C-alpha cells in the first residue's frame, strides 16, 4: 500500500515532546491508547492500514499515516523520529515480526498487546540480541494478557524471604467478555497449539482442556474454570525460574467469546470503558506455602491501553536496559502496578 502522510497539524520539534507511534490506530484498544497519550502530553503519530477509519476527533491535532506492514520502506518513513512504537494491530502472528523489524531499523522502543503465545515468544526469543545491539527495549504482551499476570507474579516472587515457588497459577474471571472485531479475527487466525510449563518445559495443553473451580474474592465468588493459557505463560517463563505455570479463565467468558452473537464492547462511562469487570489472581506455591496477588478493575481493553502507555512513558524517560523483556522483568512491578491504581485497577499481594 502506498504511504500517504496526512499531517493534520504543524509538525512539533522532536525535542519538544517524545513522539509515540501507534500502529493499528483505528482499532478499539488503540483509541484508548491515543486518548491516554494525549492526556499525558505525549505527541502521537497514528499509523493505520486505512486512515479513513481513524477517529477524526481523536487525532485532530496529530499526524496520521496510512501504511501497511508489507512495505518496509514506508514503515521506515512512518517511524522516523519516533521514540516508541506501540503496536495494537493483530493478528500478531502476522504483524509482530514486520513491526518489530521496523522498530529495530528506526531505533525506537517496541511495545505490543498480544495475547498470542507464539507471537510473544518470537519477540522474546528472537529479538533480544538485536534489541540489545540497537540499544532499545522490546516489550511484547504488555497488556492485560501477558503483562498483568507478569507484574503480579513478579511482585510476589520479589520477596526473597518467602523462598522459591514451584508453581504459579493464574486465574482470570470476567463478568462478560464482549470481544472486539480484532479479537475475533485473531482468534480465528491463531490455531497454534497452546502450551503450559510443566517441570521446567513448555508442553502442549492437555486436550480436552482441564476444568476446575476457583474461589475468587467478592463479587465473583466460586467460578467454573477451564485451562486457557494466554501470553502470560511466555512472559513468566522468560524470566521467572518457576517450573510449573498454569492459567485458567472462567468458563462463562469462554462461552461468550465463542458465541458469534455476543456483541462488541459498548461504552458505559465518559472514558469509553465498557461495564465489564475483571479479576485476576496469581498464586505462587512453594515449600513455605502459598502467596497470592489479586488485581481487579474495569474493561480489559482499556486497562491494556493504560499499561502500554505507562510503559511507553517510562521508556521515553530512560529505558533501564536494552533487550527483549517481560513487563515485570524490565520495570519494578509494585511501582508499575501502583502507577495504575486506583483509577484503573486495585491490587494486593
Output the CA angle 72-120-195, nearest 5 degrees.
140
Asked if the domains 4-143+305-333 and 144-300 are classified in one and the same CATH topology, the answer is no
Domain boundary assignment for the chain: 4-143+305-333, 144-300
Distance CA 222, CA 61 (A): 47
What is the CATH number assigned to the segment(s) 144-300?
A: 3.30.360.10
Q: Which pLDDT value is given to residue 288?
A: 87
- Predicted pLDDT of residue 61: 67
Identify the CATH number of the domain defined by range 4-143+305-333. 3.40.50.720
Give the C-alpha distances (Å, rounded to integers) separating 225 from 27, 70, 148, 230, 249: 29, 40, 19, 14, 5
- Gap between the Cα atoms of 276 and 119, Å rounded: 26
What is the pLDDT at residue 12? 38
Cβ-based neighbours of 78, under 8 Å, separated by 6 or more = 3, 5, 21, 45, 47, 65, 67
Q: What is the pTM of this model?
A: 0.94
- Asked whether the beta carbons of 65 and 4 are under 8 A apart, the reply is yes
pLDDT for the residue 161: 78
Q: Residue 5: what pLDDT? A: 38
Query: At what angle are helices 333-340 and 149-157 packed, to 10 degrees?
Result: 130
pLDDT per residue as tens, the chain (349 positions)? 333 333 333 333 444 589 999 999 999 999 999 999 999 999 999 999 999 999 888 887 678 999 999 999 999 999 999 999 999 999 999 999 999 999 999 999 999 999 999 999 999 999 999 999 999 999 999 999 999 999 999 999 998 777 899 999 999 999 999 999 999 999 899 889 999 999 999 999 999 999 999 999 999 999 999 999 999 999 999 999 999 999 999 999 999 999 999 999 999 999 999 999 999 999 999 998 999 999 999 999 999 999 999 999 999 999 999 999 999 999 999 999 999 999 899 999 8
Amino acid at each position: 500500500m502506498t504511504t500517504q502522510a496526512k499531517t493534520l497539524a504543524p509538525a512539533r520539534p522532536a525535542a519538544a515532546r517524545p513522539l509515540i507511534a501507534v500502529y493499528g490506530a483505528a482499532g478499539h484498544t488503540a483509541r484508548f491508547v491515543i486518548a491516554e497519550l494525549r492526556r499525558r502530553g505525549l505527541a502521537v503519530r497514528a499509523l493505520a492500514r486505512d486512515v479513513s477509519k481513524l477517529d477524526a476527533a481523536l487525532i485532530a491535532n496529530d499526524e496520521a499515516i496510512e501504511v501497511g506492514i508489507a512495505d518496509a520502506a514506508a514503515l521506515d518513513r512512518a517511524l522516523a523520529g519516533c521514540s516508541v512504537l506501540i503496536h495494537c494491530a493483530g493478528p500478531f502472528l502476522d504483524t509482530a515480526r514486520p513491526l518489530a523489524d521496523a522498530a529495530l531499523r528506526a531505533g525506537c522502543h517496541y511495545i505490543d498487546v498480544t495475547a498470542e503465545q507464539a507471537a510473544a515468544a518470537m519477540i522474546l526469543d528472537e529479538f533480544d540480541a538485536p534489541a540489545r545491539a540497537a540499544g532499545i527495549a522490546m516489550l511484547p504482551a504488555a497488556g492485560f494478557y501477558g503483562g498483568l499476570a507478569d507484574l503480579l507474579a513478579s511482585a510476589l516472587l520479589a520477596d526473597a524471604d518467602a523462598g522459591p515457588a514451584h508453581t504459579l497459577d493464574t486465574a482470570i474471571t470476567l463478568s462478560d467478555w464482549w470481544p472486539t472485531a480484532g479479537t475475533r479475527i485473531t482468534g480465528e487466525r491463531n490455531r497454534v497449539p497452546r502450551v503450559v510449563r510443566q517441570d521446567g518445559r513448555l508442553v502442549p495443553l492437555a486436550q480436552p482442556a482441564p476444568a476446575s473451580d476457583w474461589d475468587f474474592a467478592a463479587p465473583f465468588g466460586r467460578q467454573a474454570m477451564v485451562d486457557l493459557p494466554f501470553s502470560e505463560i511466555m512472559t513468566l517463563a522468560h524470566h521467572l525460574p518457576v517450573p510449573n505455570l498454569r492459567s485458567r479463565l472462567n468458563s462463562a467468558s469462554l462461552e461468550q467469546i465463542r458465541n458469534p452473537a455476543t456483541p462488541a464492547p459498548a461504552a458505559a462511562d465518559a472514558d469509553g470503558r465498557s461495564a465489564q469487570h475483571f479479576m485476576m489472581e496469581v498464586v505462587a506455591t512453594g515449600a513455605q506455602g502459598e502467596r497470592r496477588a489479586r488485581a481487579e478493575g474495569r474493561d480489559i481493553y482499556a486497562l491494556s491501553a493504560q499499561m502500554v502507555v505507562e510503559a511507553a512513558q517510562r521508556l521515553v524517560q530512560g529505558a533501564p536496559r536494552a533487550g527483549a523483556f517481560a513487563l515485570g522483568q524490565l520495570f519494578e512491578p509494585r511501582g508499575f502496578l501502583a502507577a495504575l491504581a486506583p483509577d484503573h485497577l486495585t491490587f494486593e499481594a
